[in-house]
Amino acid sequence: DAGVIQSPRHEVTEMGQEVTLRCKPISGHDYLFWYRQTMMRGLELLIYFNNNVPIDDSGMPEDRFSAKMPNASFSTLKIQPSEPRDSAVYFCASSLQGTYTGELFFGEGSRLTVL
Amino acid sequence: AQSVTQLDSHVSVSEGTPVLLRCNYSSSYSPSLFWYVQHPNKGLQLLLKYTSAATLVKGINGFEAEFKKSETSFHLTKPSAHMSDAAEYFCVVRYQTGANNLFFGTGTRLTVIP
């Protein structure tokens, strides 16, 4: 079975441009999480969805960030306009609530560089 | 306050020697505890988990961890390090109320010397 799939793996853009990161969770998983990883802050939860509904977006840095999950097999994280401080690795993870064990399955991440 | 502390940011061992990565948590609840591993340019992968069953937990690749409530610790060990163990290791604590309350440690980078 395929794991969590993220695209693009690498993105280099200029300040002010729009960035869209994509995620396909594991089929059947009902939770989807977006994390950001930086050297300074480590892993930060940005937002998570349950059954395609955003549950907690308190970790989203500011209004420039938005996330959607139009269906159970796809989610996007958008940054508009992007800034150099947004440079980080963004991870998507999914989980199956039925286990309720906290086990997350992570994608390989999208490395974003904003110049 | 609920948190998790990884005591070492970097651990270096020789191949074939034991590995010890330390983790302490603070909580007033009975937590679930996890260790995740992140290889370079990869996502995090679950190594093992403790969810109030046996206190000694065995994971993949020969790793194990022991839950010690009296010490609020969940240290990760392996009897003999392999070159492929070189990676970043994260201790993660989960509390029983909701799916978003995962607390990630700051990570320990393990270097294995040939």
* For residue A66, pLDDT beyond 60: yes
Average pLDDT value for residue range A99-112: 82
User: Residue A12: which pLDDT band, with cuts at 50, 70 and 90?
Assistant: very high
- The DSSP-derived string for B7-46 is S-SEEEEETTS-EEE-EEEE-SS--EEEEEEE-TTS-EEE
Question: Among A59-73, B17-31, B80-94, which is the least confidently predicted range?
Answer: B17-31
Average pLDDT value for residue range B56-74: 93
Both structure tokens of A26:
């594991």
Mean residue pLDDT of chain B comes to 89
Average pLDDT value for residue range A108-114: 96
* For residue B4, pLDDT beyond 50: yes
Residue A83 CA to residue A67 CA, distance in Å, equals: 17
User: Residue B28: which pLDDT band, with cuts at 50, 70 and 90?
Assistant: low
* For residue B57, pLDDT beyond 70: yes
* For residue A97, pLDDT beyond 60: yes
Contacts of A48 in chain B (CB under 8 A): 99-100
Average pLDDT value for residue range A95-101: 63
Q: Cβ of B97 under 8 Å from any chain A Cβ?
A: no
Question: Among A31-40, B67-76, B95-104, which is the least confidently predicted range?
Answer: B95-104
User: Residue A98: which pLDDT band, with cuts at 50, 70 and 90?
Assistant: very low
- Give the pLDDT of residue A14: 97
CA neighbor of A50 nearest in space, from A20, A35, A72, A65: A72
Contact: B102, A102; criterion CB under 8 Å: yes
**Contact present, A80 and A20 (Cβ < 8 Å):** no
Q: Cβ of A25 under 8 Å from any chain B Cβ?
A: no
Q: Cβ of B104 under 8 Å from any chain A Cβ?
A: yes
Both structure tokens of B84:
């492929």
- Give the pLDDT of residue B54: 82
Which whole-number Å values give the CA distances from A67 to A18, A61, A62, B91, in the listed order?
13, 12, 12, 27
Contacts of A45 in chain B (CB under 8 A): 100, 102
Q: Cβ of A50 under 8 Å from any chain B Cβ?
A: yes
Q: Which of B33, B34, B39, B44 to probe the A interface (max A CBs under 10 A)?
A: B44
Contacts of A31 in chain B (CB under 8 A): 99
- Give the pLDDT of residue B32: 84
Percent of chain B at pLDDT > 70 equals 90
Query: Phi and psi (nearest 5°) for A100?
Result: 50, 35
Contact: B34, A102; criterion CB under 8 Å: yes
- Give the pLDDT of residue B1: 58
Cite the DSSP H helix spans in A1-115: none
Both structure tokens of A7:
């695209």
Q: Which residue of A has its CA nearest to B37?
A: A106
Residue A113 CA to residue B48 CA, distance in Å, equals: 32
Percent of chain A at pLDDT > 90 equals 76
